[in-house]
Amino acid sequence: MIRRFLIALAVAGLPALAAAQGTDVKFGSLKQDTSAPVEVTADALAVNQNAGTALYTGNVVIIQGDMRLAAPRVLVVYSEAQGRIERMEATGGVTLVSGEEAAEAERADYDIEGGTVVMSGNVLLTQGQNALTSEKMVVNLESGAAQMSGRVKTILQPEKGQ
């Protein structure tokens, strides 16, 4: 009985365990459209025209397609030439949700044009019942691939009925 349980646990966890050892994981059930409009809501906004920045504070929520990012503070940096959003820097405890997966970290830097999000500081990625932790996670929003680094730990939950 115990042997069957261990075999079932090993088989169920092999893909995630292999991903954790290689530090590559899949994030989000869909590829993110990085050209989709970006919607930002917050309690307050301070714009600095000279620096080309906008600082959103208080219950900041950013939505782009199926991706949702929430944080207490987000600095938006605009590109000088085109007036478009170049990048966003979210701090103070960040939550990123895509599909059925969610990630939390102390900070997230979102490069709009590059289509990447770099989360750092006590990163926690949950995928269903499973969880992965690390110090840094880089998510490619076009492919949905993520790479975790800095003491990666994986917690695999066996499926019920195994």
Q: What is the CATH number of the domain that holds 113?
A: 2.60.450.10
In a domain, 97, yes or no: yes
Q: Which residue is it, tokens 């301070």? A: 46
Closest CA to 103 of 132, 134, 125: 125
In a domain, 86, yes or no: yes
Q: In this structure, are residues 104 and 127 in contact, taking their beta carbons and an 8 Å threshold?
A: no
pLDDT tens for each residue of the chain, 162 residues long: 333 332 333 333 333 433 444 456 666 544 566 677 889 999 999 999 899 999 999 999 998 888 899 999 999 999 877 778 889 999 999 998 887 889 999 999 989 888 889 999 999 998 888 899 999 999 888 888 889 999 999 887 777 655
State the residue range of the domain holding 76: 2-155
In a domain, 90, yes or no: yes
Instruction: List Cα–Cα distances, 48 to 45, 56, 76, 78, 89, in angstroms.
Output: 10, 12, 10, 10, 15
In a domain, 42, yes or no: yes
pTM for this prediction: 0.76
In a domain, 98, yes or no: yes
Nearest 5°: the CA angle 27, 75, 138 is 25
